[in-house]
Amino acid sequence: MNRPVTTLFMLMSLDGKISTGSTDNMDFDRDLKEIDGLKQGLHQYYEIEQTTDLWSFNTGRVQAKMGVNHLSMPEKTPVSFVLYDNSHLNENGVRYFCARSKQFVLFTNNRDHPAFNVKEDNLHVFFQYKLDLEDMLKQLKYRFDCERLTIQSGGTFNSLFLQNKLIDYVDIIVAPVLVGGKDTVSLIEGESISTKYDLSKLGILKVIDIRKLEDDYIRLRYKVIS
């Protein structure tokens, strides 16, 4: 394979939502830990996350929502982070990931991105004229020897990986909650299928494992077969 093996790893509600609401101040990571009946089992998601791949993909928007633009510098981890961002990270956010990452790789369409002003040995910034996830994955493999990559982005980027047939495995932790709301972001967003021809864009899955965790959380693992 000329790209890393990818796994979509997410926490979602039973109805497929990956946030508690439709605005950026609503967030699973912040909100579920405050809700009785959900906070008790939430630790399992983070414990499983620690066992995922040593390369992790996310977006600047998701990380800005998590507050990295204003956080103090973290301790170094063995994980290398890959972010796609055009306008959400400031210099502090970039430096935060430099401090946290073994290697920090940022892809952008913005020639004036703050990352170009940051000089760190482990920072690698790549300009793309337009978003090209397939090229991004190829560069990760051939420039950085990235063999496996965990995807933890938002619903829109998840849909782009799916439509381009760039997801190999799906690993989902299902929280025992229904969120609802047509504007609340779901696991896979993007444009809806409108013709039978587009049914080829569906991701067909084969079950690898289904496991009941503590406090009514469930782990679902699939291989994408087409």
For each of the domains in the chain, give its residue range(s) and CATH number, in order of start: 5-224 (3.40.430.10)
What is the average pLDDT across 4-13?
A: 98
**Of 9, 24, 96, 106, the residue nearest 62 (C-alpha):** 24
Please count the helices (runs of H) and the strands (runs of E) in the chain.
6, 9
Give the pLDDT confidence score for residue 225 in this predicted structure.
Answer: 95
Does 197 have pLDDT greater than 90? no
Does 173 have pLDDT greater than 90? yes
Does 201 have pLDDT greater than 80? no
Percentage of the chain beyond pLDDT 90 is 92
**Which of 24-28, 118-122, 135-139 is the least confident region?**
24-28
- The DSSP H or E segment spanning 80 is strand 80-84
- The DSSP H or E segment spanning 209 is strand 205-212
Does 194 have pLDDT greater than 90? no
Give the pLDDT confidence score for residue 202 in this predicted structure.
Answer: 87
Residue located via tokens 């510098």: 73
What is the average pLDDT across 166-175?
A: 98
Q: How far is CA 37 from CA 32, 90, 226, in A?
A: 9, 36, 36
Percentage of the chain beyond pLDDT 70 is 100
What is the average pLDDT across 197-208?
A: 87
pTM, two decimal places: 0.95
**Of 185, 183, 187, the residue nearest 173 (C-alpha):** 187
